[in-house]
Amino acid sequence: MKHTVHEHKLPSGAQGLVVNVPGSAVVNVQVAFRSGFQFSDPQVYEVPHIMEHMLATVTRRHAEPNSFMIDAQKNGAYVNASTSADTNNYIYEFANFELDRILDLIDEQVTEPFFGADSFVAEKSNVLEELTRNTTQHMSVCAIKLSEQTFPKQSKGYDERIAQLEAIKLEQLESHYHHTHTARNARFYVSGDFPDGGQEVAARFERIFAKLPQGERLQLSQELGRKVENPIVTVRDIEQIYYRTGMFFREIDKQQQAAMAMLRMLMVGGMGSRVLGEARRRGLAYSVGAIGYSEPGNSSFGFTGYVTPGHAEALYEIINRSLRAAGAGEVSEVELEAAKNLLVGSITRSTQTAGDVLQWYIDRYDESDEIRDFEVELGRLRSVSIEDATNISQLILGTDQTALSLLGRIEAADAQTYAGLLSFAS
C-alpha cells in the first residue's frame, strides 16, 4: 500500500511515527508506554493489567463506570487496550472526522486517570474473570507454562496471577502509573491521510505529553530464555495433546532474522511446507505452527500446535527430521523460492489497510526506535540463500537453552518420549 513514514521527536521527550496513507478514510492510533509486567513487582504481577483496565474505562471527567469507553465508541470507533510483558497499549481506530474528538479523549486517558475505589474493585474483578477464562484455553495455558519457567522475570502462570489478585492495592496502581506514564517513556503511532506528514497531529500529541513528567525511557529486559531440563507437563483430561517448544539463543542480525522468517515458511508455511505439508498428507495433524522471534539481546524459535495421542510420535518425528534436514543444507532452490514467494506475498496481502501498515512499523520502533523500510525488508527476504537457511537452522539446533511444554492426558513415560523427539539432541 502506498504510504510514507514520518518520525516525530517531541520537546517533551515523547516520540513516534505518523504514517501518511493518502486517501484513507480511517485513522489508527496507538499510544504505548513501557509499563508492562516486567516493570511491576512480581508479587503483584497484575498491577499493570488492572491499571490498563482502569485507564481504558474511566477518567476524572468520565468517572462513572465504563463512561469513558461508552463515549469513545459512540460514533463507531474501535477502542481497546492491552498489557504485555513490555508495554501498555491504548488502541483506537475511527473515521477521520473523529480525529480531534478522539485525541481529546486520549489526552484524558493518559493524563487524567481516575483511580477510584469502586472502579478498582470492578476492574480487579473483571481481570479475575479474564484470567479465569484463560485457564480454559489450552493453547494459551501450554504457552504460558513454558514462558513462566523460561522467562521467570517476565511471565507468571494464570493460577499464580489469580492467587495474587486479592493482595493488590489501589495505591500500587497509582504508583505504577506515575513511575511509567511519563513523556520519555511514551511512543505514539498514527496512520491515516496526513499530507503534512503528521506535523499537526504530532503537535497535538506534544500538548498531551507535555502534561506528564518527563521521566525516562525504561529499558527492556534482555534476559535469555532459560533451559528447562524436563518437559513441563500440565495434566488436562482432554483428547488432544498441546505442545510448545522453545529454543533460545543470542541476538541475531537482520539477515539472520530474514533467514529465520524463511525457515518458518519452510517448516510450516502452507501445504507445501516440510512439517505441515507432510503432516496433512499423512493425516497426522490439522495445524502445526512455528514461532521465530528476535529482539535486542535474545532470539527464539519453536513449534506449537495440537495433536491426538496416537499421532504425536509420528508428528514429532517429522518436526525433528525436517529441522535437522534444513540444518544439513537439504533445502532445494525450488523449495526456497516457493517459501520466499509465499512469505512476501503474505506480507503484501496483509498490509492493505492503514492499520495493517502501521502495525508493520510498531514492534521494531517500540523495541529500538528503528524505522523498517518496507521495500528493503522485502528485498532482504528475497535475498535469503540456502546457506543462510542452513546457518540459522544450525544456530537453532546448536543451542542447549531449550524447553518443552505439554498439556493433555500425558503419562510420565510418554512425556519423556516426546521430549526425546523434540529436544533435537545429537
How far apart, in Å, are the Cα atoms of 313 and each of 238, 286, 307, 309, 318?
A: 18, 15, 10, 8, 9
Tens digits of residue pLDDT in 368-425 = 999 999 999 999 999 999 999 999 999 999 999 999 999 999 999 999 999 999 987 6
pLDDT at 238: 97
Grid cell at residue 36? 508492562
- Comparing CA positions, the residue from 50, 71, 49 lying closest to residue 119 is 50
Query: For 269, which DSSP code?
Result: S
Share of the chain above pLDDT 90, in %: 96
pLDDT at 403: 97
pLDDT at 275: 98
pLDDT at 269 over 80: yes
Strand partners, 8: 16
Q: How far is CA 179 from the centre of its chain?
A: 23
Sign of the CA dihedral 153, 156, 160, 165? positive
In order of their start, the domains of the chain are 4-209 (3.30.830.10), 232-422 (3.30.830.10)
Grid cell at residue 162? 489469580
Q: How far apart are CA 27 and CA 404, in angstroms?
A: 41
pLDDT at 426 over 70: no
pLDDT at 369: 95
Q: HSE (CB half, 13 Å, CA atoms) of 106? A: 32
pLDDT at 330: 97
Q: How far apart are CA 305 and CA 321, in angstroms?
A: 17
Q: How far apart are CA 122 and CA 117, in angstroms?
A: 9
pLDDT at 52 over 70: yes
pLDDT band at residue 192 using 50, 70 and 90 as cut-offs: very high
pLDDT band at residue 146 using 50, 70 and 90 as cut-offs: very high
Q: What share of the chain is helix, strand, coil (3-state, %, to 5)?
A: 50, 20, 30
pLDDT at 256 over 60: yes
- Comparing CA positions, the residue from 287, 295, 147 lying closest to residue 220 is 295
pLDDT at 418: 97
Q: How far is CA 364 from the centre of its chain?
A: 11
Mean pLDDT (the chain, rounded): 96
Cβ–Cβ contacts within 10 Å for residue 250, how many? 12
pLDDT band at residue 153 using 50, 70 and 90 as cut-offs: confident
